[in-house]
Structure 1
Amino acid sequence: MRPEPKTERELIERAWEIAGLSFAELADIAQIKVPMDLKKDKGWVGQLLEWHLGATAGSKPQQDFEKLGIELKSIPISYVGKPLETTFVSVAPLTGIHGLTWENSHVRNKLSRVLWIPVEGERDIPLSDRKVGAPLLWSPSPEQEAQLKNDWEELMEFIVLGQIEQVTARHGEILQLRPKAANGRVKTEAYGYHGKIIRTRPRGFYLRTQFTAQILAHHFI
């Protein structure tokens, strides 16, 4: 793995260096094997990009480039440049949330500064042939942050009130709360009615595709 970049400019330069290269070319440089598909290797693309860019956080709650305060997000796009899936932001806290506010939340921390790396994501392109796109460094506008805050507070209210099981993917305009686990057998603790602890599936915060599409469109068009 490359050493961590010391400046924002160095990080952007590295991101431009890999733009236009295929996953096979990047994997060859990193001496990493390209999997047949991403069914069992969902995090493979992110790990490949982390290797080339020098990200250090891995799956920890802090930003990928902690010293720079920047989060790395790969985003699979279609032939017409539209995001093909929602973007995972962070695991949702389901207990021990006394005193938690939007200002000190993981979601705000992760989304305060994001390096978006679009990658080809169409299923008919073999994984090894898919290419990396032009990078985009983004911070939410005041309007976008207000939207994110509203959604986060609405979703967290369900958790605090013991109504986690009532949340669906329809809640939240740009930020949604969805199960985050490899299978339905994985359980964690959460608040139920009257503050009783229940067992439920872990949840994660995700950005809707229409929101990430707006980010890309605003920058590239």
Structure 2
Amino acid sequence: MQPPINPPHSVDELLQRAQQLAGLSLGDLATMANIQVPDNFRRHKGWSGQLLELWLGAEAGSKPEQDFPELGVELKTIPIDQQGQPLETTYVCYAHLTGINGMNWEQSNIRNKLSQVLWVPIEGCRDIPPHQRRVGYAFLWHPNAIQLRQLQQDWEELMEMIALGKIDTITARHGEVLQLRPKAANGKALTDAIGVNGSFIKTRPRGFYLKKNFTAEILNNLFSG
């Protein structure tokens, strides 16, 4: 088996590709793709997702659009424990810290990213070496009305704080299901943001993350259904 050359032509084909990987380890997939597995993921946070993108034929990369824009599907890997619960928050996308006047939820990048997600669970317990961690059974998810309302409410509250120049007062505790956290390769990376008096300040780039309680609900609904 080798990674596909072309992107999938339909959502069904994408789902089929993903589900065919269930039970295989990251080492299996890396070996077949002639890629070396890192000894740990401390310096390679996005490695699993990039490996899955290769095997599924994703083309968007880090662009501000869905991983499969022609299909309207975003790919998200999620590390889980032995009970099938998420081990960490899930990164969604970067947050705009300037030029946000007139921006609304319906047209936001995060709303677009989360409109349809292909979730791929992966064993994530730290006592399992990366090359031995197995890929779980992939599934498609659309947020229901309640979940959309929760996401929109958190996004609007966080964006209002950004617009009011309160970026440096936002912590990971803000938001019920969505949080805003620094997102950069290192702490020295800085970007423009709105200060308290309306002038620009320098701060660390921020990203939106789904909280574990939210992704746990998604997984629990799947297993209970």
Q: What's the counterpart of residue 216 of structure 2?
A: 213
Q: Deviations over 1:159-188 (max 9, x none)?
A: 101110111111100000011112221110
TM-score calculated relative to the size of structure 1? 0.98
Task: Write the distance in 2 (CA, Å) between the matches of 1:23 and 1:177.
Answer: 29
Q: Note the C-alpha offset of 1:194.
A: 2.1
Q: 1:44 aligns with which of 44, 47, 53?
A: 47
Provide the residue aligned with 2:92 in structure 1: 89
Report the counterpart of residue 148 of structure 1 in structure 2. 151
Identify the match of residue 11 of structure 1 among 4, 9, 14.
Answer: 14
Letter in 2 for 1:162: G
Residue 178 of structure 2 is aligned to residue 175 of structure 1: yes
**Residue matched to 1:204:** 207
Q: What letter matches 2:137 in structure 1?
A: A
Q: Which amino acid aligns with 1:194?
A: N
In 2, the alpha carbon distance for the partners of 1:126 and 1:166 equals 38
Alignment match, 1:136: 139
Which amino acid is the alignment partner of residue 197 of structure 2?
Answer: H
Q: Among all aligned residue pairs of Structure 1 and Structure 2, give the percentage whose two residues are the same amino acid.
A: 58
1:114 and 2:117 correspond: yes
Q: Secondary structure, in 3 states, of the residue corresponding to 2:68? A: coil
SS at match of 1:193: coil
Q: Counterparts of 1:126 and 1:170 in 2: how far apart (Å)?
A: 31
Partner amino acid for 1:119?
A: I
d(CA) in 2 for partners of 1:23, 1:193: 46
Report how far residue 100 of structure 1 moved: 0.6
Larger mean Cα displacement after TM superposition, 30-39 or 206-215: 30-39
Correspondence for 1:54 = 57
- In structure 2, the partner of 1:166 is 169
Q: Residue type of the partner of 1:73? A: K
- Which residue matches 2:193? 190
Runs of 4 or more, structure 1, over 4 Å off, are: none
Amino acid at match of 1:11: L
CA distance, structure 2, for counterparts of residue 42 and residue 168 of structure 1: 21
Residue 219 (structure 1) shift? 0.7
Instruction: Report how many residues are paired.
Output: 221
Letter in 2 for 1:136: F
Once the two structures are superposed, residues 107-148 of structure 1 have per-residue CA deviations (whole angstroms, 9 ceiling, x without a partner) of: 100000000000000000011000000011001001100110
Runs (5+) with no aligned partner, structure 2: none
User: Hey, what does 1:100 align to over in structure 2?
Assistant: 103
SS at match of 1:152: helix
